[in-house]
C-alpha cells in the first residue's frame, strides 16, 4: 500500500496513554497503519493491552509500523518518568504524545450526579485524572522534544467543553481545564517548535464509559446530530493523526470538534 508523504508518520515514535481499549486503541492502531512506532500505555488490563499491540503490529505490517505496551499509572509522576525513560532508551525519543487516559466515568444522563450530589472531591478527582495525568506526561516528554526542537502533543477533551448537552459537572469541568492547560502550553512551546492541540469527541459508542447509556438517549443524540450517528472510536483517530502529523504543522492551541456536527464552532 502506497503512503502519502504528507502525513509523514513513518518511523515516528508515538506514545498513546490509556490505549489498551476504546478510543486509545483505535488511535494507536491508526498510527501503526501509517508506519509509526507506537507505545501503548495502559493502567491494568494486560490482556487488552496485548490485544491492541497485536492489532497495531498487524495494521502496521505493510508500512513498517511497530508497537509495544508499557504498564504505568499516568497519575503517578515517577511511574510516568520511568516509562518515558524506557521509551527514550528503546526508541531514542518521543515525537508525538496523545494524552487519552482519563478517570473512569459513566456517561449516563439518567444516573449522573446532580450538582447538589457532588463534593469538591469529585471535581478534584476528575481534575487529577485529566489535567494531572497530562501534566505528568508533558513534564516527562518535553525535555526529549526540546532536544530535537519538534514535537506534537494531542490532548483528548470532549465536545462538552463547548456545549454541555448533559451536565456532567466534574468530568466536563476537568476537560475544560485541560483545554486551558493545552493552550497555555501551546503558547509557551510554540517558539520551540512543539505544538499542542486538542481533539474534542462527542459521545463515542461503544466504549467502557458509554456502554451503560440508554438506547433512547443515544437515539435522541443521533437525531440531533447532522451526520445522524454517534462517533465510533475510529472516527476520533483521523483528526488525531492530522494534528500529530506535518499536515497541521501551522496549527497549535486548537480544539477540533469530532461529533458529527452536533456542536459547530
Residue 206 is part of a domain; what is its CATH number?
Answer: 3.40.50.720
What digits encode the pLDDT tens for the residues 155-174?
999 999 999 989 999 999 99
- How large is the average pLDDT for residues 6-26? 95
- How large is the average pLDDT for residues 217-238? 94
Residue 79 has pLDDT above 60, yes or no: yes
Smallest CA-to-CA distance from 150 within 109, 196, 115 is with 196
- Domain membership of residue 213 as a residue range: 13-258
Residue-by-residue DSSP string for 211-237: TTS-HHHHHHHHHHSTT-SPBPHHHHH
What pLDDT, on a 0 to 100 scale, did the predictor assign at position 45? Answer: 95
Residue 214 to residue 220: CA distance in whole angstroms: 10
State the total domains in the chain: 1
* CB-based contact 165:171 (threshold 8 Å): no
**Range of weakest confidence among 56-70, 82-96, 100-114, 124-138:** 100-114
In a domain, 160, yes or no: yes
- Please tell me the pTM assigned to this model: 0.96
Q: pLDDT: is 206 or 220 the higher one?
A: 220
| Mean of the per-residue pLDDT values of the chain | 94
In a domain, 7, yes or no: no
What pLDDT, on a 0 to 100 scale, did the predictor assign at position 109? Answer: 85
- Catalytic-role residue among 42, 105, 168, 171: 171
In a domain, 3, yes or no: no
In a domain, 36, yes or no: yes
Please confirm, yes or no, whether 171 is among the known catalytic residues: yes
Measured CA to CA in angstroms, residue 165 lies from 85, 127, 145, 221, 224 at distances of 41, 20, 37, 9, 11
In a domain, 5, yes or no: no
Residue count of the chain, please give it.
Answer: 265
Residue 39 has pLDDT above 60, yes or no: yes
In a domain, 166, yes or no: yes
Q: pLDDT: is 42 or 211 the higher one?
A: 42
In a domain, 193, yes or no: yes
Measured CA to CA in angstroms, residue 95 lies from 150, 163, 209 at distances of 7, 32, 29
pLDDT tier at 210 (50, 70, 90 boundaries)?
confident
Q: pLDDT: is 251 or 104 the higher one?
A: 251
Residue 62 to residue 19: CA distance in whole angstroms: 22
What pLDDT, on a 0 to 100 scale, did the predictor assign at position 161? Answer: 97
* CB-based contact 23:199 (threshold 8 Å): no
The helix-helix angle for 133-148 and 77-91 (nearest 10°) equals: 30
Please provide residue 199's backbone torsions phi and psi, each rounded to the nearest 5 degrees: -115, 130
What pLDDT, on a 0 to 100 scale, did the predictor assign at position 206? Answer: 81
**For residue 42, what is the enclosing H or E element?**
strand 37-42
* 3-state secondary structure string across 96-165: EEEECCCCCCCCCCCCCCCHHHCCHHHHHHHHHHHHHHHHHHHHHHHHHHHHHCCEEEEEECCHHHCCCC
pLDDT tier at 5 (50, 70, 90 boundaries)?
low
What percent of the chain shows pLDDT beyond 90? Answer: 86
Which residue carries 496485548 as its cell? 50
Amino acid at each position: 500500500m502506497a503512503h502519502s508523504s504528507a502525513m509523514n508518520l513513518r518511523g515516528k515514535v508515538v506514545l498513546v496513554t490509556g490505549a489498551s481499549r476504546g478510543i486509545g486503541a483505535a488511535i494507536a492502531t491508526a498510527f501503526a497503519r501509517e508506519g509509526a512506532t507506537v507505545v501503548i500505555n495502559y493502567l491494568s488490563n494486560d490482556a487488552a493491552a496485548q490485544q491492541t499491540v497485536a492489532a497495531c503490529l498487524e495494521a502496521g505490517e505493510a508500512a513498517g509500523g511497530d508497537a509495544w505496551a508499557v504498564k504505568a499509572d499516568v497519575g503517578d509522576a515517577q511511574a510516568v518518568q520511568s516509562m518515558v525513560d524506557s521509551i527514550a532508551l528503546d526508541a531514542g525519543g518521543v515525537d508525538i504524545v496523545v494524552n487519552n487516559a482519563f478517570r473512569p466515568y459513566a456517561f449516563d444522563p439518567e444516573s449522573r450526579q446532580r450538582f447538589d450530589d457532588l463534593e469538591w472531591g469529585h471535581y478534584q478527582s476528575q481534575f487529577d485524572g485529566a489535567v494531572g495525568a497530562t501534566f505528568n506526561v508533558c513534564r516527562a516528554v518535553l525535555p526529549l522534544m526540546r532536544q530535537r526542537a519538534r514535537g506534537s502533543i494531542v490532548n483528548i477533551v470532549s465536545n462538552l467543553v463547548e456545549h454541555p448537552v448533559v451536565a456532567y459537572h466534574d468530568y466536563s469541568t476537568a476537560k475544560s481545564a485541560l483545554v486551558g492547560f493545552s493552550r497555555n502550553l501551546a503558547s509557551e512551546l510554540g517558539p520551540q517548535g512543539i505544538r499542542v492541540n486538542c481533539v474534542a469527541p462527542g459521545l463515542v459508542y461503544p466504549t467502557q464509559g458509554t456502554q451503560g447509556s440508554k438506547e433512547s438517549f443515544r437515539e435522541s443524540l443521533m437525531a440531533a446530530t447532522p451526520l445522524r450517528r454517534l462517533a465510533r472510536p475510529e472516527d476520533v483517530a483521523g483528526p488525531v493523526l492530522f494534528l500529530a502529523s506535518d499536515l497541521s504543522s501551522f496549527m497549535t492551541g486548537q480544539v477540533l470538534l469530532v461529533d458529527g456536527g452536533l456542536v459547530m464552532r
